[in-house]
Amino acid sequence: MRDDGQLNDARRTLSKYNLHQFELPLLLNLLPTSIDEAKTLVPSLTLHYSDNEIREICEDIREIKRYIEG
C-alpha cells in the first residue's frame, strides 16, 4: 500500500466479510486473486467461507490491487 488512505480503503472494503483479525492483514499483504491461491495462503478461510464467498473476497482484492497500482 502506498499510503494510509489506501490501507484504510482496503480494510474498509474487506471489512464486510467479518474476517478474523489475522486473516485481514494476511490478505492485504499477500493479495491473492484466485480462490485456490487464497485458500492455499490463508487456509482458515475454508473453515468459515464457501468457495463463492472466497471468490467475492478475491474479486474485491483484485479491485484493491487495481486501485493500488493506479
Instruction: Return the DSSP state at 2.
Output: -
- Residues 18-63 have pLDDT tens digits of 999 999 999 999 999 999 999 999 999 999 999 999 999 999 999 9
pLDDT of residue 63: 94
pTM for the structure as a whole: 0.88
- Measured CA to CA in angstroms, residue 65 lies from 44, 46, 47 at distances of 22, 22, 25
Q: What fold does the segment set 4-69 form as a domain?
A: Growth Hormone; Chain: A; (1.20.1250)
Task: Say if residue 2's pLDDT is above 80.
Answer: no
For cell 492483514, what's the residue? Answer: 25
pLDDT of residue 69: 86
- Measured CA to CA in angstroms, residue 27 lies from 19, 32 at distances of 10, 7
**Which is nearest to 28 in space by CA: 63, 49, 51?**
63
